Amino acid sequence: MTTPAPPVFHPGPHGLSLATRFTPGFGPALVFLPGYMSDMAGGKATAVFDWAAEIGRACLLLDYSGCGLSEGKFAEGTLSRRRDEVVALIHAHALDEVVLVGSSMGGWLMLLVAQALPGTVRALVGLAAAPDFTEWGYDTAQKAMLAAGETVLEPNPYGPEPTPTHAAFWADGQALQQLNDGVPFDGAVRLIHGQADADVPWTLALTLAEKLRSSDVQVLLIKDGDHRLSRPQDIAVLLDTLASLPRD
């Protein structure tokens, strides 16, 4: 494992300082988009960064505002804000070709960033991608609470504190649903999903594959893989997938 690169902070589009780690190299640069309450210190992000540094591949890790080392309040984070932050950080690092690697919520966000940067995003790799989870991830009562401006708290299987969903995030997500119509992206797409995922149905990967306009879409199902896909064998699949992406 490489020595972690020190974080570098950039002014974000909404006036907040955003933390990144970057290793230079050949491209397209890998840009890792963490999940809902994750950051760039997570196991998958770190593994991708270490692998990229080892082979001389450009790679950018980042923390959304209100997450990890970045400034801001988590409660104020929305998909639109995080999309704008990712776009700004790609520009700040002068990356003209990127591959977006999106984990869970990051798999939704990668679709939005790709549409915001159509000439820059060359490929997408989703890990338990969860587009539109504001729609299918909440029951009628929870949606009513969120629509009324309340915060929904749910048990967190990964930590002691409950997982909050704030009304602003939910409303923004509802306005940014991707699966009702076709997803306008033409580059290579690889969707990795565990069939033992208790949080995001693996069938969603098939739905997303169908909705993507690209003809170069592959779905890889890991029968005993859970939502995190962070075991060594899962990370090996991810790195093999990144290595096999077309470069043209």
Structurally, how many domains does the chain consist of? 1
Look at residue 158 in the predicted model and tell me its pLDDT: 76
Mean pLDDT of the region 170-176: 98
Q: Which of 92-96, 158-162, 218-222, 230-234 has the lowest mean pLDDT?
A: 158-162
CATH of the domain at 186: 3.40.50.1820
pLDDT digits (tens, 9 = 90+) for 46-63: 999 999 999 999 999 999
In a domain, residue 202? The reply is yes
Active site residue 234: no
Of 56-65, 159-168, 198-207, the poorest mean pLDDT is in 159-168
Of 84, 132, 172, 197, the catalytic one is 197
**Pick the catalytic residue: 93, 166, 193, 227?**
227
Q: Which two tokens stand for residue 236?
A: 């090996």
Which residue is catalytic, options 104, 132, 193, 234?
104
Give the pTM.
0.96
Tell me whether residue 192 is in a domain.
Answer: yes
Whole-number pLDDT of residue 248 = 64
For residue 178, tell me if it sits in a domain: yes
- 172 catalytic? Reply is no
Percent of the chain whose predicted confidence (pLDDT) is above 70: 98
* Structural domain includes residue 1: no
Domain holding 42, by residue range, is 10-244
Report CA-CA distances (Å) from 187 to 14, 100, 119, 216, 218: 30, 11, 10, 7, 12
Active site residue 197: yes
Residue 2 lies in a domain: no
**In the predicted model, is pLDDT for residue 1 greater than 80?**
no
